[in-house]
Every structure is written in structure tokens, then in C-alpha cells.
Structure 1
């Protein structure tokens, strides 16, 4: 149910979570993997200084910026918290929202921009925090994705 570009994102996010010593794949892991895997997502963000800052914050995750998240569960209230290895509640909700967006569009497969729109829509997730720190307005990003890829 995932496009070829999006199909590689969960595996990349899982590798990042393991490498960073995190117990769960969170939305920042998804965002990082998504940006690397899908040119449409990078196009949606734009070839701007914000994109470079965004990658910078995501890379810093294991050496500084993201250390405040280690040992905690990402929960934006989307679903009940489950404390086990796997997906954070917010990451699971974002993947589900991406699939729902594709279905509403009449497609069988979710694309990377569907996941990007879902991440941008959740103002409480870690991906939203990273986007904000990089100077990317979530609502403008979500509207751009809706206008171009809906």
C-alpha cells in the first residue's frame, strides 16, 4: 500500500532508531528517511536554506539536539501510548493518515508527500518540532503539498 519511494522509508527510519539507541521509530526518524528517499518531498520543502537546516537538525539528533528525546515515548495524543520496541504512537498515526490521504484521493498507494502532509498536520510530533526549528512553517508546507499533490 506504499509507493516505491515510501516503501523504503520505514526501514530507513528503523535503522536510524536503532543507531540512535531509541526504543521506538518516531516522526523525526520518518521525516529524515522520507527526505532522503523521496525527491517529491524535497521539492515540497523547497531547495532553500531551510532544507539544509532541516537536514542539519535531523543529523544532529544523535549527537545533541535529539538527546532530550532519548528514553521517552513520542506521544502527541493521537493514540494510546504503547511502551515497546516499534512505532511511536505519533509515527503510527502519521503512517495511517498517509494511507487515508491516498484513499481519499482514490489511489491504492500512499506517496511520500502523503506522509509529509500527515507529519506537517500534527503540531505536537517530533517532526513538527524539527520543522519549526529549521524555520519551516508546517501549515504552509501542508497547503503546498495539498495544492500540488492532491
Structure 2
């Protein structure tokens, strides 16, 4: 019987990618911690891949800026409630399927990320690069998570009545220069 989560090489266990580019090189310390938390959550939940909902859950728990963009208070509580339920309720159907939208080719990479989660992580880094900063932050990843309407993170946000457009508007306000 094969393990549900692909085994990580020694380099990946400390959150290093096979190509040698560590998360520390691409992300702020806070975001690297959130991605590590998402990996632990996927293993704990018995999921095959880290998906966009794992990433969203970890961001909500660990990143105050992400919570501020989404609007602290009852909305965050609702979102966390739906995310916690994934292991006992609606998320069970996710365990037997790889998160993908068809727009991103399905590959079985060594990172253990679903294709959409991998694309979101890459897009977060690209967003930071376009802004002229070397490292992506949690708000960059939040924006990337809502980019594909097929993402599980978008489904969770929808269940909590949070529209992707509202998230993007909050992200844009977050990055607006203070005047």
C-alpha cells in the first residue's frame, strides 16, 4: 500500500524544494511558516496533497494581515469553522481527488502540493516580484488562492459568503501606498 502523502526527501522536510530554492528564499518568514503549517495539516488530515484550502486555513491561523484583509471577527470565525469541518464533513469528498481545474496540467511533483496549490504558491512569488520585493507574503498568497474559481479555497470562501472579488479589492487596498 502506497502512502497517501508522497514521502519527502530530507531536503524537502525542512521546506526546501528539490531545485535548491528554499521557501526562506521565496517567502517572508511568516509565509514560510504558514506553508509549513499547511503541509502538517495535510498529513494530519490524511490528504494526498496540500491543497488551497490547507493553505487558506494556515494563513487564517497564522497571518494577522490576511485576517485583516478578509475582515476580522465573525467572517474569520465562519471561515475557520468551515475549514475545520473539512475533515468531518464536506471536505471528505476532496480526499479521493486531486485539486485541479484543467487549466494547470496535473503532475505528481515531489512537493506534495496539488496543481492549484503549486500554481498559487508560484503566483504569490510572481506577485511579490512584480511589486519589486524579493519575498512573497501571506497577502500575496491569499490573492493567488482566489485566482482560480475551481480552487477549494474559493469554495470555502463562498460557503462563508466571501466573494473572490472582495478579497482582491482588499488585497489591492492592503498594497496601496500610504498617502
- 1:123 matched to 2:149: yes
Any stretches of 5+ residues in structure 2 without a counterpart? 1-25
Mapped to 2, the partners of 1:77 and 1:8 lie a distance apart of 29
Aligned counterpart, 1:30: 55
Aligned counterpart, 2:140: 114
Aligned counterpart, 1:79: 104
- Is this contact kept in 1: 2:30–2:137, CA < 8 A? yes
Mapped to 2, the partners of 1:105 and 1:81 lie a distance apart of 29
Any stretches of 5+ residues in structure 1 without a counterpart? none
Aligned counterpart, 1:91: 117
Mapped to 1, the partners of 2:90 and 2:96 lie a distance apart of 14
Mapped to 1, the partners of 2:172 and 2:103 lie a distance apart of 21
1:19 Cα deviation from its structure 2 partner: 1.1
1:147 Cα deviation from its structure 2 partner: 2.1
Mapped to 2, the partners of 1:22 and 1:78 lie a distance apart of 22
Query: Which contiguous aligned blocks of 4+ residues in structure 1 show a shift greater than 3 angstroms?
Result: none
Aligned counterpart, 1:104: 130
Structure (1 or 2) with the greater helix fraction: 1
1:44 Cα deviation from its structure 2 partner: 0.5
Mapped to 2, the partners of 1:48 and 1:129 lie a distance apart of 20
1:48 Cα deviation from its structure 2 partner: 3.5
Aligned counterpart, 1:52: 77
- Is this contact kept in 1: 2:60–2:76, CA < 8 A? no
Q: Secondary structure at the match of 2:136?
A: coil
Mapped to 1, the partners of 2:144 and 2:73 lie a distance apart of 21
Please say which structure displays the higher CA radius of gyration.
2
Aligned counterpart, 1:16: 41
1:113 Cα deviation from its structure 2 partner: 0.1
Aligned residues: 150
